[in-house]
Amino acid sequence: MSAITLDGVRKRYPGGVLAVKGVDIDIESGEFVTLVGPSGCGKTTTLRTIAGFERPTDGTVSIADEEVTDLPPYERDTGMVFQDFALFPHMTIHENVAYGMEADGGYTDEEIDARVAEMLELVELPEMGDRTPDQLSGGQQQRVALARALAPKPQALLLDEPLASLDKKLREQMQVELRRIQQEVGITTVFVTHNQEEALTMSDRIAVMNDGRFEQVGPPGEVYDEPKTRFVADFLGTANIFDGSVRAVENGRATVECDDVTLRTRATSGVKTGDDVSVVIRPERFELSTATTDGGTTAEADGADLNVFEGEITFRRHLGSSIEYHLETLEGRELVVVRRSGHDERTAGERVSVRVEADDCRIVEA
């Protein structure tokens, strides 16, 4: 059974902006799916279309296999959390969490009290029911907003940048906490963020949006390691991107000629000689060593399945468990290389050589 299905959803706002240009997705029950992409790409519009705050211009929305395209939000059985929490300031925390069940009718006071207590326990704020929102920290208010959305036992949880207004440390804690709660409740969740790190760490699947479309949908590891397009590679994580054209393809390997270098890469299926492509190399795929040759970039002599660059470190910064180096190659290209700290440590100004296996060089659509 699909928990949420979008079928050919397009949304044109009055005034002409085509915010969503045709998106399709089947979200499974209990799945955590993140819509990620740059500002204005249509994430919020897609989420609001699922919630029922926007009606699609074309296409259909189904929840629990029932088409709901024409139903108003309150008949859709979803719970929503917004970036600004949107708690009712004049109500206590208990009243806030009870709100959905009260509005729904059909529950006794005892049922509501028991459910509110259960929800406050779930978000680890059991003693806070009598306070008002202004007596809570930002992180606590966010938990209350989550408890309020979950209290009426909706079919799906819709989260619109719920962590964006929290500071970095708290945001990281809440990422873990939100995922724990989502898994404990087993609720289907659609999460909107423009933060790629949040998307990679929290989701079962990521839908990378660009200009009103899903450019790629898949599990975090797949979207990161096997991006289908240059946009996806560039948006999620850091990517070294080389634009060039394919000179040869044989035995699962391709040779790609760029302006400054010739690269050996894995040959993605369908790639053929003459294609204009981009090659993506993730920063952690490089090995780093002391410069040994005078030459620039070479594909090593034997099977030529390594690409070796010579260059100078122009900048380094500590990221905690790893170190990021920026290199200028002899050909004048900037490369970003990340190594685990304690391994191959280097300083700015040093001349180094970096190598990367052909297998770790991915061809994507230009």
For ligand ATP, the closer of residues 194 and 346 by Cβ is: 194
Rounded least distance, CB 37 to ligand ATP, Å: 6
39 binds ligand ATP (CB under 6 A): yes
Stretch that binds ligand ATP, among 34-42, 60-68, 307-315, 343-351 (CB under 6 A): 34-42
For ligand ATP, the closer of residues 140 and 196 by Cβ is: 196
Rounded least distance, CB 57 to ligand ATP, Å: 12
285 binds ligand ATP (CB under 6 A): no
Q: Which helix (H) or strand (E) holds 79?
A: strand 78-81
Stretch that binds ligand ATP, among 10-18, 238-246, 259-267, 296-304 (CB under 6 A): 10-18
Distance from chain centroid for Cα 275: 29
55 binds ligand ATP (CB under 6 A): no
Q: Which of 2, 7, 29, 40 binds ligand ATP (CB under 6 A)?
A: 40
Name the residue among 300, 307, 354, 308 with its Cα closest to residue 327. 354
Structure tokens at 178: 């939100």
The pairs formed by 292-298 with CB atoms below 8 angstroms and a separation of 24 or more are: 292/353, 293/353, 295/330, 296/261, 296/329, 296/330, 296/331, 297/260, 297/261, 297/262, 297/263, 297/329, 297/330, 297/331
Q: How many CA atoms lie within 13 A of 111 on its CB side?
A: 12
For ligand ATP, the closer of residues 39 and 269 by Cβ is: 39
For ligand ATP, the closer of residues 19 and 157 by Cβ is: 19
Q: What DSSP string describes 132-158?
A: -GGGS-HHHHHHHHHHHHHTT--SEEE
13 binds ligand ATP (CB under 6 A): yes
C-beta of residue 67 within 8 angstroms of C-beta of residue 241: no
- Looking only at residues 181 through 210 of this chain, which bind ligand ATP when binding is defined by CB under 6 A? 194
Q: What DSSP string describes 260-315?
A: S-EEEEE--TT--TT-EEEEEE-GGG-EEEE---SSS-EE-SSS--EEEEEEEEEE
Q: Which of 19, 87, 119, 208 binds ligand ATP (CB under 6 A)?
A: 19
Q: Which of 15, 106, 320, 349 binds ligand ATP (CB under 6 A)?
A: 15
Q: Which of 33, 36, 43, 346 binds ligand ATP (CB under 6 A)?
A: 43
Rounded least distance, CB 59 to ligand ATP, Å: 15
**What are the residues binding ligand ATP (CB under 6 A)?**
13, 15, 17, 19, 37, 39-45, 194
